[in-house]
């Protein structure tokens, strides 16, 4: 860990999805004297986005989760560099569990949190239940940022604005934006290799002149991206075999990235059979 990052005070604010964390973020940050808030991939200071990219800007669940956990190298590096240049300072990490908070802190190479506050310490059971009901029935999320800034960083639908009714010691405890992301997410997501195999085989089979596409292997690389080995049976036709194989390679890589949100390092295509 760089010496600059050691000068940063770190706190965590933890609560399950849809319990009202973002709505109370600035209130808790003021209480902890945290200058910055990390929420869903964004670094926020006094309702202004200063760095990062919102997980709610992603168009599928897997990419949103990876974005929130800073698993994309350019995103992680830009935020880590920002804190190196901002130290000494203090930051509060918002997360759905203690484990998620620690994972984000480790990814950004920040010091261990000095204190962890849970949503139950700042919200009543009735308030939490009401927030959960709103999330489940309407799929709406709160971002502790002005609607003007959210408009530039968000892919879903903006629903409205929210002003906090309780008093906070900071004059910046004010406008928040209510949004509806392109997806809803609860719990963990796990994709079996068989699902990737079926998707890749189906996409390959839809390419003209492909008689059969069979995935022989799906494996992860050292950078946590996918590599796919694909065997093809091709019919002779208007396009040459190399052109058909390249079309399959590109379509499979693009489709797996889009539907799964996973990074595809390579699609290795082998032609194992040719028919008239």
Q: Looking at residue 105, what is its pLDDT?
A: 95
Q: What percent of the chain shows pLDDT beyond 90?
A: 47
- Mean pLDDT along residues 146-166: 45
Question: Which pLDDT belongs to residue 224?
Answer: 65
Give the pLDDT score at 245: 94
What's the half-sphere exposure (Cβ side, CA atoms, 13 Å) at 10? 19
Pairing of strands 157-163, 175-180: antiparallel
What are the φ and ψ backbone dihedral angles of 58, each rounded to 5 degrees? Answer: -80, 155
Task: Please report which residue ranges of the chain form alpha helices under DSSP H.
Answer: 25-32, 61-68, 73-86, 98-107, 125-138, 147-153, 193-205, 241-260
Q: Are 51 and 82 in contact, with CB atoms under 8 Å apart?
A: yes
For residue 42, what are the β-bridge partners? 39, 52
Give kind and range of the element (H or E) at residue 75.
Answer: helix 73-86
Q: 57, 49 in Cβ contact below 8 A?
A: no
Q: What is the pTM of this model?
A: 0.60
Residue 182 pLDDT greater than 70, yes or no? no
Residue 159, pLDDT score: 40
Q: Residue 144: which of 170, 168, 176, 122 has the closest Cα? A: 176
Q: How far is CA 161 from CA 42, 175, 185, in A?
A: 19, 7, 22
- Report the pLDDT value the prediction gives residue 91, as an integer from 0 to 100: 97
Find the mean pLDDT for residues 148-176.
Answer: 45
C-alpha–C-alpha distance, residues 24 and 44, integer Å: 14
The reply to whether domains 5-180 and 193-275 share a CATH topology is no
Closest CA to 134 of 152, 117, 159, 116: 159
What pLDDT shows up at residue 58? 77
CA–CA separation, 235 and 208 (whole Å): 9
CATH fold label, 193-275: GMP Synthetase; Chain A, domain 3 (3.30.300)
% of the chain exceeding 70 in pLDDT: 76
Which pLDDT score is estimated for 139?
52
Distant-in-sequence, close-in-space partners of 195: CB < 8 Å, separation ≥ 6: 260
Question: Pick the residue with more confidence: 127 or 138?
Answer: 127
Lowest model confidence (mean pLDDT) among 2-11, 48-57, 177-186, 205-214: 177-186
Lowest mean pLDDT across 29-43, 115-129, 142-156, 252-266: 142-156
Question: What average pLDDT does the segment 12-28 reach?
Answer: 87
**What is the structure's pLDDT at 74?**
93
pLDDT at 259 over 60: yes
pLDDT at position 181 over 70:
no
Which residues lie closer than 8 Å to 16 by C-beta, 6 or more apart?
Answer: 96, 97, 119
pLDDT at 3: 61
φ, ψ at 18 (rounded to 5°)? 80, 20
Alpha carbon 241 to its chain's center: 38
Number of separate helices (H) and strands (E) present in the chain: 8, 12
The CATH number given to 5-180 is 3.40.50
Q: What is the pLDDT of residue 163?
A: 46
> Are 10 and 110 contacting, i.e. CB atoms less than 8 angstroms apart?
yes
Assess whether pLDDT exceeds 60 at residue 35.
yes
Beta bridge partners of 206: none
The domain limits of the chain are 5-180, 193-275
- Is the model's pLDDT at 168 over the cut of 90? no
Mean pLDDT (the chain) is 80
Is it the case that residue 7 has pLDDT exceeding 50? yes
């Amino acid at each position: 860990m760089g010496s600059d990052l050691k000068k940063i005070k770190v706190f965590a604010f933890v609560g399950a999805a849809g319990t009202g964390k973002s709505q109370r973020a600035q209130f808790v940050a003021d209480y902890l004297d945290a200058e910055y808030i990390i929420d869903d991939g964004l670094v926020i200071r006094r309702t202004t986005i200063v760095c990062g990219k919102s997980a709610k800007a992603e168009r599928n669940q897997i990419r949103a989760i990876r974005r929130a956990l800073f698993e994309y190298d350019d995103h992680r590096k830009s935020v880590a560099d920002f804190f190196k240049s901002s130290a000494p300072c203090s930051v509060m990490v918002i997360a759905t569990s203690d484990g998620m908070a620690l994972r984000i802190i480790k990814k950004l190479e920040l010091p261990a949190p000095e204190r962890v506050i849970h949503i139950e310490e700042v919200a009543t059971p009735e308030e939490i239940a009401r927030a959960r009901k709103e999330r489940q029935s309407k799929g709406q999320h709160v971002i502790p940022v002005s609607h003007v800034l959210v408009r530039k960083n968000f892919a879903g639908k903006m629903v409205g604005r929210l002003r906090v009714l309780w008093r906070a010691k900071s004059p910046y405890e004010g406008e928040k934006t209510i949004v509806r992301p392109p997806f809803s997410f609860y719990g963990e997501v796990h994709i079996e290799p068989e699902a990737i195999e079926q998707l890749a085989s189906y996409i390959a089979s839809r390419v003209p002149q492909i008689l059969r596409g069979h995935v022989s292997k799906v494996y992860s690389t050292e950078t946590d991206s996918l590599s796919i080995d694909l065997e093809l049976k091709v019919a002779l036709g208007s396009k040459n075999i190399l052109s058909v194989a390249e079309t399959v390679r590109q379509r499979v890589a693009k489709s797996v990235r889009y539907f799964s949100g996973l990074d595809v390092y390579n699609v290795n295509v082998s032609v194992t059979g040719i028919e008239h």
